[in-house]
Amino acid sequence: MKSSAILARRQPQAAAQLEPRSKRRFSTQRKKVTGHPPPTPERLMQFAWGYAPPLILEAAVNWRIFDLLDKGPQTVGLLAAQSGASERGLTAILNALVGLEFLVRKGTRYALTPESAAFLVSTKPAYHGGFFRHMSRQLIPNWLQLREAVGTGRPVVAANDEADGQQFFAEFVEGLFPLSYQAAQVLGEHLGIPRAASPVSVLDIGAGSGVWGIALARQSPNVTIHAVDWPAVLKVTRSVAKRHGVGDRLRTAPGDLLEADFGAGHQVATIGHILHSEGRARSRQLLRKTFAALAPAGTVVISEFLPNDDRTGPPTPLIFAVNMLLHAAAGDTFTFAEISAWLREAGFKNPRLLEAPAPSPLILATRP
Ligand SMILES: C[S@@+](CC[C@H](N)C(=O)[O-])C[C@H]1O[C@@H](n2cnc3c(N)ncnc32)[C@H](O)[C@@H]1O
């Protein structure tokens, strides 16, 4: 499928994400009946409470509610006894989670939905609960200073500087692993990694948990990983790689991305969620350095939150740009057109999109 078609297909989906399913059905029906109804403050008031769902989810993850319900439906009394939380507190969040469609209640017993069973139980491979801990403990405190950041144009935390960033990232990158694992598997299939007959060296830039390199290494014993990140984060990368049985095929190169040793002759280079904290100037330098580290016919892969070319949507990449205002001096989100131009400027050919289960499609380009 063409890159423009891949992006267009994503837009309505992402715009709908901010409303619960029941709400979306209601809005659509009403429009059909009345044509252009007068505006109401309903959506505005829904957003006024927008901070509540992630915090309710985080509280439930923290008290292991989804893990306990994975054993089967339970009453609030049983959940309180097993978790150590109060019945009053649990009743409030359990009912809210029913309203938000993350749980169902049958009589006095609460149960998981297919969605919470897949993504909020900590033993499941697609567990997303770690992200809510990061959001409540690391992101929301900084978002409370948004008003000031808009005034000064300066971030609250400079996450791409080693002084602020190393500890900030070391604390949460492991929680990001399940968010990109499936997309990394799709990438591996697309690149033919499971059928690789010769060595494949993967340069994982800003490796974090190591998800991109590890997923590819698990698809073939011919894959070796060269992971670059700050030293404290590389400790996490090494422990995750070991747990996935690929620790012996991981080499690490500590340091700032523009100074660390990238090595040379790699077949694949992954840049997962890095450009948004690097900003325009450093991203362009990083792509040039990546080009030099790849072998001819090597592929660079970029995972990012991509707004459309007019920057009118989808909402998530535009909201993420505000997150980057708060978390990096030159942070922002960039369009496919912008990133493609930087790739071409660095010498890459054929920037293209690959549909994958990620916030946006992946961008691929080839070193001639
Ligand atoms: C958002 S995380 C992404 C991790 C992983 N690539 C993924 O997609 O899940 C960004 C990673 O880049 C690293 N990083 C960010 N800026 C860096 C810099 N200037 N030098 C070295 N590492 C950096 C962070 O430590 C962190 O591990």
Instruction: Give the HSE-up count for residue 55: Cα atoms under 13 Å, Cβ half-sphere.
Output: 9
Q: Give 351 Cα–ligand 1 centroid separation in angstroms.
A: 22
Confidence of residue 16 (pLDDT cuts 50, 70, 90): very low
The closest-lying atom of ligand 1 relative to the alpha carbon of residue 236 is 27
Query: Euclidean distance between the first and final Cα of the chain, in Å?
Result: 22
Closest CA to ligand 1's atom 17: 160
pLDDT at 28: 39
In total, the chain counts a number of residues equal to: 368
As a whole number, mean pLDDT of residues 271-294 equals 98
Average confidence score pLDDT of the chain: 92
Check residue 71 and give its pLDDT: 97
Q: Any idea what DSSP says for residue 199?
A: -
Residue nearest to atom 7 of ligand 1 (CA): 272
Mean pLDDT of 253-274: 98
- Centre of ligand 1 to C-alpha 155, Å, is 17
Nearest to 258 by CA among 240, 241, 239, 271: 271
Give the mean pLDDT of 43-55.
95
The domain ranges of the chain are 50-144, 169-366
With contact defined as beta carbons under 8 Å apart, do 94 and 65 qualify? Answer: yes
Measured distance CA(12)–CA(317) in Å, rounded: 13
User: Parallel, antiparallel, or unpaired: how do β-strands 294-303 and 266-272 relate?
Assistant: parallel
- 319 alpha carbon – ligand 1 mean position (Å): 20
Say if residues 191 and 147 touch (Cβ distance below 8 Å). no
Q: 7, 105, 8, 15: which is closest to 315 by C-alpha?
A: 15
Tell whether the model's pLDDT for residue 129 goes beyond 50.
Answer: yes
The SS3 call for residue 97 is helix
Mutate to test the pocket of ligand 1, among 230, 235, 301, 323 (most ligand atoms within 8 A of CB): 230
Render pLDDT for 28-48 as a digit per residue (tens, 0 to 9). Answer: 344 555 678 899 999 999 999
pLDDT, tens only, 153-202: 999 998 888 888 898 899 999 999 999 999 999 999 999 999 999 999 99
Q: Is 32 helix (H, G, I), strand (E, B) or coil?
A: helix
169 lines ligand 1 (CB under 6 A): yes
| CA of residue 314 to ligand 1 center, whole Å | 24
**Would the pTM count as exceeding 0.95?**
no
pLDDT at 33: 56
CA distances from 193 to 185, 207, 246 (A): 9, 19, 15
- From 184, 175, 220, 179, select the one nearest 362 (Cα to Cα): 184
Residue 287 reports pLDDT greater than 50? yes
Binding site membership of 176 for ligand 1 (Cβ less than 6 Å)? yes
Residue 284 CB less than 6 A away from ligand 1: no
Distance CA 277, CA 329 (A): 8
For the stretch 328-359, pLDDT in tens is: 999 999 999 999 999 999 999 999 999 999 98
Residue to mutate (ligand 1; options 139, 169, 226; most atoms within 8 A of CB): 169
pLDDT tier for residue 18 given thresholds of 50, 70 and 90 = very low
Atom of ligand 1 nearest to the CA of 166: 25
Copy the structure tokens of residue 295.
């072998």
Q: How far is the CA of 166 from the centre of ligand 1 (A)?
A: 9
CATH architecture, range 169-366: 3-Layer(aba) Sandwich (3.40)
207 Cα to the center of ligand 1, angstroms? 6
Q: Where are the alpha helices (DSSP H) in the chain?
A: 3-16, 21-34, 42-48, 52-62, 65-69, 76-83, 87-99, 114-119, 129-134, 140-143, 146-152, 162-191, 211-219, 231-243, 275-293, 315-327, 336-346
The tokens describing 314, both together, are 């989808």
Count Cβ neighbours within 10 Å for each residue of 98-111 and write b for 16 or more, e otherwise: eebebbeeeeeebe
More confident call, 51 vs 23:
51
Cα separation, 175 vs 119, in Å, equals 12
Would you state the pLDDT for residue 161?
87
Q: Is 339 in the pocket of ligand 1 (CB under 6 A)?
A: no
| Structural fold of domain 50-144 | Arc Repressor Mutant, subunit A (1.10.10)
Angle formed by the axes of helices 336-346 and 275-293, to 10°?
A: 30
For CA atoms 152, 155, 161, 166, give the dihedral sign.
positive
pLDDT for 10: 65
- Name every residue whose Cβ is closer than 8 Å to that of residue 212 and which is 6 or more positions away in sequence: 180, 184, 187, 202, 204, 270, 272, 301, 303
